[in-house]
Amino acid sequence: MTPAEEVQARKLAKLILPSIPGDYAEDAVAISAWLWLSPDGKGAGGGARAYDLIGHSTGFSFPIKPLLPVLNTLRAVHPDYETRHWKTALLQFGRKLHELRLSYEYEDPYRWMVTEANFKDVLLTLRPPFLQPNQP
Question: What is the rounded distance in angstroms from the CA atom of residue 123 to the CA atom of residue 127?
Answer: 6
Q: What is the pLDDT of residue 118?
A: 84
Phi, psi angle pair for 31, to nearest 5°: -135, 140
Q: What is the pLDDT of residue 125?
A: 86
Residues in the chain, pLDDT under 70: 132-136
Q: What is the pLDDT of residues 2-21, one digit of tens each?
A: 999 999 999 999 999 999 99
Give the max Cα distance, the chain.
46
58 in Cβ contact with 32 (< 8 Å): no
Q: How far apart are the first and last CA of the chain?
A: 27
CATH code for the domain defined by 3-128: 3.30.500
Q: What is the pLDDT of residue 2?
A: 94
**3-class DSSP assignment, residue 50:** strand
Segments making up each domain of the chain, as ranges: 3-128
Q: What is the pLDDT of residue 133?
A: 56
User: Taking the C-alpha atoms of 96, 55, 32 and 130 in order, what is their torsion angle to the nearest 10 degrees?
Assistant: 50
Bridge partner list, 93: 31, 100
